[in-house]
Amino acid sequence: MKVKKVVVGKLQCNCYILEINNDIIIIDPGDNYDKIKEFIYNKNLIGVLITHNHFDHVGALNDLLKDYKTEVYNSSNLSEKDYILNNFKFKVIYTKGHTNDSITYYFYENNIMFTGDFLFKDNIGRCDLPTGNVAKMKESINKIKKYSDNIKIYPGHGEETNLGYEKKNNYYFNNNW
C-alpha cells in the first residue's frame, strides 16, 4: 500500500491518500480540495475515512462528494471491528479523548495506524475542546499501548512516528497526569 501525505488548510492538517493498485481511500480531507483532487485523477475512489469531525479534518469533504460518489466512514457508521474495502483491510479502534467521535484506523497488514488528533509525535490531542475528555483519553492511551511497538503512526498533524517511540518518549504514555 502506498501512503501519500497532503498537508492542507491553515491548521496544517495531514490528509492521507492510500493506494493499492488503482484503488484509493482518502483519510481526513481537511481543506484545499484542489490539492487533494490532484491525487484522485484516474483512480478509483472507494471511500473516505474520517478520524473525527473537526473542521480542519472534514473541510473539503462536501466539495469532494460533489465530484465523487463514494461512501464516507466515521464513528456514526463504524463499529470497533475489522473492515475490508476492496484490497484495504483495517481495524477501527475508538480512541476517544480529543473528541467523543475520535477513531484510529489500524491497517494491520501494513502495520500502520492513522490516529487523527488522538496521538501525535511526542504529544496527544487537546482534551479541553467540546466533547474532549481526559479520562477517555487515558483509556484510549491504555488501549493503544497494547499494540506492537513497530507500528508506524500517521497523525492528524505533524510528522510520523512509531508506537514504540511514543511508549518510551511521550509524557502522556508514561506519567500520571
pLDDT in tens, 81-137: 999 999 999 999 999 999 999 999 999 999 999 999 999 999 999 999 999 999 999
Q: What is the pLDDT of residue 109?
A: 97
Q: What is the pLDDT of residue 175?
A: 80
pLDDT band at 144 (very low <50, low <70, confident <90, very high): very high
Q: Give domain limits for the chain.
A: 2-174
Q: Return d(Cα 149, Cα 28) in angstroms, integer.
A: 25
**Residue 99: closest CA among 71, 65, 58:** 58
Three-state SS at 83: strand
5: left (phi over 0), alpha (psi -120 to 50) or beta: beta
Three-state SS at 153: strand
Length of the chain: 177
* pLDDT at 173 > cutoff 80: yes
* C-alpha count within 13 angstroms, C-beta hemisphere, residue 76: 5
Q: In the chain, where does DSSP find H-type helix? A: 33-37, 55-58, 61-67, 134-145, 163-169, 171-174
Cβ atoms < 10 Å from Cβ of 67: 11
Q: What is the pLDDT of residue 104?
A: 98
Q: What is the pLDDT of residue 176?
A: 75
* pLDDT at 177 > cutoff 90: no
Q: Which CATH class is domain 2-174?
A: alpha beta
Q: What is the pLDDT of residues 14-61, one digit of tens each?
A: 999 999 999 999 999 999 999 999 999 889 999 999 999 999 999 999
One DSSP character per residue, 97-127 reads TSSTT-EEEEETTTTEEEEETSEETTEE--S
Q: Do 8 and 46 form a contact (C-beta atoms < 8 A)?
A: no
